[in-house]
Amino acid sequence: MIKGKVDIMGVFIDQGNLEDAANRSIDFLNTDGCKMIITPNTEIIMSAQENLKLRQIINTADLVIPDGIGLIYASKIQKKGLTERVTGVDLMHKILSHCNETEKSIYILGGKPGVAKKACENIKSKLPGITIKGFRDGYFKEEEESEIIEKINELNPDILFVALGAPKQEIWMGQYREKLNSKMIMGVGGSVDVLAGTVKRAPEIYQKLGLEWFYRLLKEPWRYKRMMVLPKFMIKVIFSK
Protein backbone atom coordinates (compact mmCIF):
# COMPACT_ATOMS: atom_id res chain seq x y z
CA MET A 1 0.00 0.00 0.00
CA ILE A 2 1.36 3.43 -0.88
CA LYS A 3 1.47 5.44 2.33
CA GLY A 4 1.65 8.99 1.16
CA LYS A 5 3.91 11.63 -0.27
CA VAL A 6 7.32 12.74 0.89
CA ASP A 7 8.55 16.29 0.36
CA ILE A 8 11.99 16.40 -1.27
CA MET A 9 12.88 20.08 -1.76
CA GLY A 10 9.32 21.09 -2.49
CA VAL A 11 8.65 18.17 -4.84
CA PHE A 12 6.21 15.56 -3.55
CA ILE A 13 7.23 11.96 -4.20
CA ASP A 14 5.11 8.88 -3.50
CA GLN A 15 6.31 6.35 -0.97
CA GLY A 16 6.27 2.65 -1.75
CA ASN A 17 8.07 0.09 -3.85
CA LEU A 18 7.70 -0.97 -7.48
CA GLU A 19 4.83 -3.32 -6.65
CA ASP A 20 2.91 -0.48 -4.94
CA ALA A 21 3.51 1.84 -7.88
CA ALA A 22 2.39 -0.83 -10.36
CA ASN A 23 -0.83 -1.54 -8.41
CA ARG A 24 -1.59 2.14 -8.21
CA SER A 25 -1.00 2.61 -11.97
CA ILE A 26 -3.23 -0.35 -12.80
CA ASP A 27 -6.00 1.17 -10.65
CA PHE A 28 -5.76 4.36 -12.73
CA LEU A 29 -6.96 2.41 -15.75
CA ASN A 30 -10.33 1.92 -14.08
CA THR A 31 -10.94 5.49 -12.97
CA ASP A 32 -12.19 8.65 -14.66
CA GLY A 33 -9.98 11.27 -16.24
CA CYS A 34 -6.42 11.08 -17.51
CA LYS A 35 -4.06 10.14 -14.68
CA MET A 36 -0.45 11.33 -14.91
CA ILE A 37 2.70 9.47 -13.82
CA ILE A 38 6.02 11.27 -13.48
CA THR A 39 9.38 9.65 -12.73
CA PRO A 40 11.76 12.35 -11.45
CA ASN A 41 15.43 11.85 -10.84
CA THR A 42 17.81 14.22 -9.07
CA GLU A 43 18.24 16.42 -12.15
CA ILE A 44 14.51 17.02 -12.39
CA ILE A 45 14.23 17.88 -8.70
CA MET A 46 17.02 20.41 -9.20
CA SER A 47 15.32 21.90 -12.31
CA ALA A 48 12.09 22.13 -10.31
CA GLN A 49 13.83 24.42 -7.79
CA GLU A 50 13.88 27.24 -10.34
CA ASN A 51 11.29 26.04 -12.82
CA LEU A 52 8.10 26.56 -10.83
CA LYS A 53 5.88 25.44 -13.68
CA LEU A 54 7.69 22.10 -13.71
CA ARG A 55 7.36 21.81 -9.94
CA GLN A 56 3.66 22.56 -10.09
CA ILE A 57 3.11 19.94 -12.81
CA ILE A 58 4.98 17.27 -10.83
CA ASN A 59 3.02 18.16 -7.71
CA THR A 60 -0.29 17.72 -9.50
CA ALA A 61 0.65 14.29 -10.91
CA ASP A 62 -1.25 11.28 -9.61
CA LEU A 63 1.85 9.17 -9.09
CA VAL A 64 5.44 10.41 -8.71
CA ILE A 65 8.09 7.73 -8.29
CA PRO A 66 11.68 8.24 -7.09
CA ASP A 67 13.67 7.36 -10.21
CA GLY A 68 17.06 8.40 -8.88
CA ILE A 69 19.27 7.09 -6.12
CA GLY A 70 19.94 10.71 -5.05
CA LEU A 71 16.31 10.98 -3.94
CA ILE A 72 16.69 7.95 -1.70
CA TYR A 73 19.87 9.34 -0.15
CA ALA A 74 18.10 12.68 0.38
CA SER A 75 15.18 10.92 2.02
CA LYS A 76 17.50 8.95 4.30
CA ILE A 77 19.49 12.05 5.33
CA GLN A 78 16.31 14.01 6.00
CA LYS A 79 14.68 11.00 7.70
CA LYS A 80 11.75 10.87 5.30
CA GLY A 81 10.01 7.77 4.06
CA LEU A 82 11.49 6.80 0.68
CA THR A 83 13.07 3.39 1.03
CA GLU A 84 14.04 2.32 -2.47
CA ARG A 85 14.48 3.61 -5.98
CA VAL A 86 11.57 2.85 -8.32
CA THR A 87 12.58 3.29 -11.93
CA GLY A 88 10.35 4.45 -14.76
CA VAL A 89 11.62 1.65 -16.99
CA ASP A 90 10.67 -1.03 -14.41
CA LEU A 91 7.26 0.52 -13.84
CA MET A 92 6.68 0.76 -17.59
CA HIS A 93 7.47 -2.97 -17.89
CA LYS A 94 4.97 -3.78 -15.14
CA ILE A 95 2.28 -1.66 -16.78
CA LEU A 96 2.97 -3.23 -20.18
CA SER A 97 2.74 -6.69 -18.70
CA HIS A 98 -0.67 -5.80 -17.21
CA CYS A 99 -1.77 -4.41 -20.60
CA ASN A 100 -0.76 -7.71 -22.16
CA GLU A 101 -2.95 -9.69 -19.76
CA THR A 102 -5.93 -7.37 -20.05
CA GLU A 103 -5.63 -6.47 -23.76
CA LYS A 104 -5.20 -2.76 -23.16
CA SER A 105 -3.92 -0.38 -25.80
CA ILE A 106 -0.96 1.99 -25.91
CA TYR A 107 0.56 4.80 -27.99
CA ILE A 108 4.22 5.84 -27.77
CA LEU A 109 5.17 9.42 -28.54
CA GLY A 110 8.84 10.34 -28.57
CA GLY A 111 12.37 9.27 -29.33
CA LYS A 112 14.38 9.74 -32.49
CA PRO A 113 12.73 8.75 -35.78
CA GLY A 114 12.28 4.96 -35.87
CA VAL A 115 12.83 4.44 -32.13
CA ALA A 116 9.15 4.42 -31.02
CA LYS A 117 8.32 2.16 -33.97
CA LYS A 118 11.07 -0.32 -33.01
CA ALA A 119 10.00 -0.18 -29.34
CA CYS A 120 6.42 -0.98 -30.39
CA GLU A 121 7.57 -3.89 -32.58
CA ASN A 122 9.59 -5.33 -29.68
CA ILE A 123 6.66 -4.87 -27.27
CA LYS A 124 4.24 -6.54 -29.66
CA SER A 125 6.51 -9.53 -30.23
CA LYS A 126 7.04 -10.11 -26.48
CA LEU A 127 3.58 -9.09 -25.30
CA PRO A 128 1.12 -9.91 -28.10
CA GLY A 129 -1.94 -9.15 -25.96
CA ILE A 130 -1.23 -5.42 -26.15
CA THR A 131 -2.87 -3.35 -28.86
CA ILE A 132 -0.47 -0.83 -30.32
CA LYS A 133 -2.65 2.09 -31.36
CA GLY A 134 0.25 4.08 -32.77
CA PHE A 135 3.61 5.77 -32.34
CA ARG A 136 5.37 8.92 -33.44
CA ASP A 137 8.87 10.30 -33.03
CA GLY A 138 9.45 13.15 -30.63
CA TYR A 139 10.87 15.72 -33.02
CA PHE A 140 7.93 17.85 -34.10
CA LYS A 141 7.13 21.55 -34.26
CA GLU A 142 4.87 23.29 -31.77
CA GLU A 143 2.40 24.01 -34.60
CA GLU A 144 1.93 20.26 -35.07
CA GLU A 145 0.97 19.57 -31.48
CA SER A 146 -2.79 20.10 -31.68
CA GLU A 147 -2.92 17.76 -34.68
CA ILE A 148 -0.90 15.17 -32.73
CA ILE A 149 -3.36 15.35 -29.82
CA GLU A 150 -6.32 15.07 -32.19
CA LYS A 151 -4.80 12.00 -33.84
CA ILE A 152 -4.05 10.33 -30.49
CA ASN A 153 -7.61 11.00 -29.32
CA GLU A 154 -8.98 9.50 -32.53
CA LEU A 155 -6.93 6.35 -31.93
CA ASN A 156 -8.02 6.43 -28.28
CA PRO A 157 -5.24 4.40 -26.58
CA ASP A 158 -5.71 3.47 -22.92
CA ILE A 159 -2.19 4.68 -22.17
CA LEU A 160 0.02 7.32 -23.74
CA PHE A 161 3.75 7.00 -23.06
CA VAL A 162 5.64 10.24 -23.65
CA ALA A 163 9.40 10.21 -24.27
CA LEU A 164 10.50 13.75 -25.05
CA GLY A 165 13.31 13.93 -22.49
CA ALA A 166 13.06 15.77 -19.18
CA PRO A 167 11.76 18.36 -18.43
CA LYS A 168 10.20 18.79 -21.86
CA GLN A 169 7.97 15.73 -21.50
CA GLU A 170 6.66 16.82 -18.07
CA ILE A 171 5.81 20.30 -19.35
CA TRP A 172 4.18 18.77 -22.42
CA MET A 173 2.11 16.34 -20.37
CA GLY A 174 1.02 19.10 -18.02
CA GLN A 175 -0.09 21.18 -20.98
CA TYR A 176 -2.07 18.49 -22.80
CA ARG A 177 -3.26 16.11 -20.12
CA GLU A 178 -6.72 17.67 -19.85
CA LYS A 179 -7.23 17.42 -23.61
CA LEU A 180 -6.50 13.69 -23.78
CA ASN A 181 -9.09 10.92 -23.73
CA SER A 182 -6.58 8.33 -22.51
CA LYS A 183 -6.81 6.87 -19.03
CA MET A 184 -3.15 7.41 -18.28
CA ILE A 185 -0.19 9.44 -19.48
CA MET A 186 3.34 8.61 -18.35
CA GLY A 187 6.66 10.35 -18.98
CA VAL A 188 9.15 7.63 -19.85
CA GLY A 189 12.22 9.46 -21.22
CA GLY A 190 15.01 7.12 -22.25
CA SER A 191 12.94 3.97 -21.51
CA VAL A 192 11.73 4.04 -25.09
CA ASP A 193 15.35 3.68 -26.22
CA VAL A 194 15.79 0.73 -23.86
CA LEU A 195 12.63 -0.91 -25.24
CA ALA A 196 13.82 -0.28 -28.80
CA GLY A 197 17.20 -1.79 -27.93
CA THR A 198 19.11 1.34 -28.95
CA VAL A 199 20.29 1.93 -25.36
CA LYS A 200 21.25 -0.81 -22.90
CA ARG A 201 20.43 -0.58 -19.21
CA ALA A 202 23.26 -0.86 -16.72
CA PRO A 203 24.06 -4.43 -15.64
CA GLU A 204 22.15 -5.50 -12.55
CA ILE A 205 25.15 -5.15 -10.26
CA TYR A 206 25.28 -1.38 -11.00
CA GLN A 207 21.53 -1.14 -10.38
CA LYS A 208 21.80 -3.00 -7.07
CA LEU A 209 24.67 -0.83 -5.87
CA GLY A 210 22.82 2.37 -6.80
CA LEU A 211 25.44 3.12 -9.43
CA GLU A 212 23.32 3.13 -12.57
CA TRP A 213 24.15 6.85 -12.98
CA PHE A 214 27.88 5.95 -12.99
CA TYR A 215 27.41 3.34 -15.70
CA ARG A 216 25.48 5.89 -17.75
CA LEU A 217 28.29 8.39 -17.27
CA LEU A 218 30.78 5.84 -18.58
CA LYS A 219 28.61 5.09 -21.61
CA GLU A 220 27.50 8.65 -22.34
CA PRO A 221 30.32 10.85 -20.96
CA TRP A 222 28.84 13.96 -22.60
CA ARG A 223 26.12 13.81 -19.96
CA TYR A 224 28.62 14.80 -17.26
CA LYS A 225 27.45 18.44 -17.33
CA ARG A 226 23.87 17.38 -16.59
CA MET A 227 25.13 15.06 -13.86
CA MET A 228 27.07 17.80 -12.11
CA VAL A 229 23.79 18.70 -10.40
CA LEU A 230 24.11 15.52 -8.30
CA PRO A 231 26.78 16.81 -5.89
CA LYS A 232 25.01 20.20 -5.79
CA PHE A 233 21.79 18.41 -4.90
CA MET A 234 23.46 16.44 -2.09
CA ILE A 235 25.03 19.60 -0.62
CA LYS A 236 21.62 21.29 -0.66
CA VAL A 237 20.03 18.27 1.05
CA ILE A 238 22.67 18.16 3.78
CA PHE A 239 22.39 21.89 4.52
CA SER A 240 18.61 21.91 4.54
CA LYS A 241 18.50 19.01 7.02
Pick the piece of the chain touching ligand UDP (CB under 6 A) from 20-28, 128-136, 157-165, 203-211: 157-165
Which residue, 76 or 232, is less far from ligand UDP as judged by CB? 232
Residues in contact with ligand UDP, shown as a per-residue x/- string from 125 to 144 under the rule CB under 6 A: -------------xx-----
Site for ligand UDP in 6-25 (CB under 6 A): none
- Minimum distance from CB of 136 to ligand UDP (Å)? 9
* Burial track 39-58 (b if 16+ CB lie within 10 A, e otherwise): bbbbbbbbbbbebeebbebb
The one among 5, 80, 94, 112 contacting ligand UDP by CB under 6 A? 112
* Binder among 119, 192, 194, 229 for ligand UDP (CB under 6 A): 192
Give the C-alpha separation, 130 to 120, whole Å: 10
Which residues lie closer than 8 Å to 118 by C-beta, 6 or more apart? Answer: 196, 197, 198
Q: Does 163 bind ligand UDP (CB under 6 A)?
A: yes
Q: Which is nearer to ligand UDP, 74 or 92 (CB)?
A: 92
13: three-class secondary structure by DSSP: strand
174 binding ligand UDP? (CB under 6 A): no
As a whole number of angstroms, the distance between CA 179 and CA 148 comes to 11
Of 129 and 165, CB closest to ligand UDP = 165
Q: Give me the residues paired with residue 11 across strands.
A: 8
Q: Is the backbone peptide bond immediately before 167 cis, with ω within 30 degrees of 0?
A: yes
| H or E element at residue 173 | helix 168-176
Which residues make up the interface to ligand UDP (CB under 6 A)? 110-112, 115, 138-139, 163-166, 168, 189-190, 192-193
